[in-house]
Amino acid sequence: MITLEKRPQPSRFWVFATPVLAVVLTMLCGGLLFAALGQNPFETIRTIFLDPLFSEFAWFYRPQLLIKGAPLVLIAIGLSFGFRAGIWNIGAEGQYIIGAIFGAAVGLAFYPMENFIIFPLMILAGAVGGFLWAMIPGILRVRFGTNEILVSLMLVYVAEQLLASMALGALRNPDGMGFPGSRNLAQYDSATSWISQSAGLHWGVAFAFIAVICAYVALSRHIFGFNVRLSGQSPRAARFAGVNPSRLILICMGMSGALAGLAGLFEVSGPAGQISIDFNVGYGFTAIIVAFLGRLHPVGILLAGGLMALTYIGGEIAQSNLGLPIAAIQILQGMLLFFLLAVDVLTNYRVRLGKRGIA
């Protein structure tokens, strides 16, 4: 019989091996999926995972990896604090949308003025927007004991409706011939950005790296990081150590909301360039995969964000060159989270086959 035996302590080997194994299993099962769709599995896997790095156009794709990965890393860093503490903010997509709306509203309020102070105000507004949206499930959890998973997730659909309303109403471009969408907002980022515009990079890339560094210091060198880890591992011990659970919930929810809002602001002032009905592309949900694939560690999240960005860029290449449907790429990303959760059981359990076990 196959049985699971609890390990005395988590296996350090499998902590680092499970993300690698999950990626390998995703490639294998993804290849079978692509073969069922009539594609050459080897060519498709190569196109998705290798062409953005080593093809003749790699010089163009590599900066795109930073652009695609920046919002994923920003959002995942914020989520990782809550996940470590046992606080499950699943609605980062909504906070991402609201942050974009708040930031865009500030930029459009000053249009057509050009001043160096406008973009910092947009950044502040984006963070505040995401923070306020995350406070709704946070306060409801603290005050009424509601489930933050359900509340934050349901608020995503409210945010999507607000996005459509803004694109069609208050933020619509009055010179846009009636088409939905706001004025172009990229001018504010490019006016203050020191990053090469020829590569298409923006301030969000810099903020993503800053967030990784700050999160690493906070988790490994600050009492706040200790409280977060202790609350996730033993809530009762955390209370005895003087950790206020309500305060920790609000801090973690607010932090994740603010970073998601920043990601939305940098996206609307950078690659997207405007508020539109289809502005949100699921970064808030994909960042959950990034957070767990990176083992909730800042450096791991940085690497996982690059890998997930690789699937976005490679997926676009596969759609263009091979005619692969976008749904297949989304399934591939879902497989990654599925296999990560499945093989993660090996971290805390041994698989026993009769009298033999997997160490």
Within 8 A by CB and 6+ apart from 196, the residues are: none
Question: If pLDDT is split at 50, 70 and 90, which confidence band does 237 have?
Answer: confident
Higher pLDDT residue, 71 or 6? 71
Bridge partners (DSSP) of residue 4 are 351
Residues 77/259, Cβ–Cβ less than 8 Å: yes
Domain count, the chain: 1
Q: Does residue 18 belong to any structural domain of this protein?
A: no
Q: In this structure, what CATH number is given to the domain that contains residue 217?
A: 1.10.3470
Stretch 243-270: mean pLDDT: 94
Average pLDDT of the chain?
89
Q: What crossing angle do the helices spanning 298-322 and 203-221 adopt, rounded to 10°?
A: 150
pLDDT per residue as tens digits for the range 34-58 = 999 999 999 999 999 998 888 777 7
Q: Does residue 50 belong to any structural domain of this protein?
A: yes
Q: Does residue 337 belong to any structural domain of this protein?
A: no
Residues 277/6, Cβ–Cβ less than 8 Å: no
Q: Does residue 355 belong to any structural domain of this protein?
A: no
The reported pTM is 0.91
pLDDT of 201 strictly over 90: no
Residues 186/269, Cβ–Cβ less than 8 Å: yes
Domain enclosing residue 193, as ranges: 38-324
Bridge partners (DSSP) of residue 2 are 353
User: pLDDT value at position 81?
Assistant: 95
Q: Does residue 1 belong to any structural domain of this protein?
A: no
Higher pLDDT residue, 258 or 327? 258
pLDDT of 10 strictly over 90: no
Stretch 314-333: mean pLDDT: 90
Give the pair of three-digit tokens for residue 229.
């880890």
Stretch 151-179: mean pLDDT: 91
Q: Does residue 265 belong to any structural domain of this protein?
A: yes
Q: Does residue 159 belong to any structural domain of this protein?
A: yes
Q: Which of 234, 251, 221 has its CA nearest to residue 89?
A: 251
Q: Does residue 344 belong to any structural domain of this protein?
A: no
Stretch 133-145: mean pLDDT: 95
pLDDT of 183 strictly over 60: yes
Higher pLDDT residue, 258 or 330? 258
pLDDT per residue as tens digits for the range 20-40 = 999 999 999 999 999 999 999
